[in-house]
Amino acid sequence: MDIFLQQIVNGLVLGSVYALVALGYTMVYGIMGLINFAHGEVVMIGALVSITVMQIFFAGAPGLSPVLLVLGALVVAIPVCMAIGYTIERVAYRPLRHAPRLAPLITAIGVSIVLQNLAMMIWGRGYISFPAIFPSGSYDIFGARITAVQIAIVVMAVVIMVALLTLVNKTKMGRAMRATAENPSVAGLMGVNINAVISFTFIIGSALAAIAGMMVSANYGIAHYFMGFMLGLKAFTAAVLGGIGNLKGAVLGGLLLGLIESLGAGYIGQLTGGFLGSHYQDVFAFFVLILVLIFKPSGLIGERVSERA
């Protein structure tokens, strides 16, 4: 039983990681109807920048408390990612806003390759380790074990979701965002500065990416220039699973995907009598994506997506 419980906990942690990244995808999609494939790469940059900052602080002042280190890293990583997010939108998407839908998709992939190569040039091809600032011990909850970083990840996913929902539904900027999502031209006529709203969306999404990047690399202890690719694909799957464009859906989709992968990898060997092994873990995510696209293209709690074209 405690093994099953542990698999559930593993799934929830992994799912929260996906959820954190999926929120960024879904926000941009919700406003612009655009899949920002470079989002995974912004997460990667966030992770690498925060590690670099921590290493500098860690070397300079070894006695610094972990909380201060994390805050210090975020103070640098968030603005860097915001700047990158803003630049991506300005350079790769804005000129193509009225182009056919395929065009921004292609520039998105292009941007992600550029960012990967940029990171490779700056940080090299090797794996970079996250400084050992957190205690590596874990807490025991009914026989399942969870570390402090993992608890933080789960909490952050929920907190950020609530914060984003408040932003979108309760603030003036949120109203402008919803108006832009509904119909950009009409929103523009009503006095909404669409360019500012879209830039803002990208900047917020990129700030989330910085936080997600740091939490992911803290959890696994490593980061490298290629990490954004798989993470981005999985998070995209999670967003689609929950219903892309829907913030609650991103979190739900992320958690579900995490649970599916974790339980799948844990039990597939037994269920198929050893025919399929645990290295098929990654396959489950995409198997789920295909099923969702066939049977419920708008996702589990998805919004109507046909309006925007």
- Residues at the contact surface with another protein, assessed by CB under 8 A: 3, 6-7, 10-11, 13-14, 124-127, 129, 132, 136-138, 140, 145-147, 150, 220-222, 224, 226-227, 230, 261-267, 269, 277-279, 281-282
Alpha helices, H only, the chain: 2-32, 39-60, 66-88, 102-123, 148-170, 172-182, 184-189, 194-220, 227-242, 247-271, 281-295
CB of 48 or CB of 187, closer to another protein: 48
Burial class (CB in 10 A: 0-12, 13-18, 19+), 75: exposed
Q: Cβ of residue 10: shortest distance to another protein, in angstroms? A: 4
Q: Cβ of residue 4: shortest distance to another protein, in angstroms? A: 9
CB of 128 or CB of 161, closer to another protein: 128
Q: Cβ of residue 116: shortest distance to another protein, in angstroms? A: 14
Q: Residue 162 has which token pair?
A: 């609530």
Q: Cβ of residue 71: shortest distance to another protein, in angstroms? A: 21
CB of 13 or CB of 156, closer to another protein: 13
Main-chain phi, psi angles of 139, to 5 degrees? -95, 150
Cβ(131)–Cβ(54) under 8 Å? yes
CB of 94 or CB of 145, closer to another protein: 145
Q: Residue 18 has which token pair?
A: 């996906």
CB of 63 or CB of 137, closer to another protein: 137
End-to-end CA separation in angstroms for the chain: 49
Q: Cβ of residue 145: shortest distance to another protein, in angstroms? A: 5
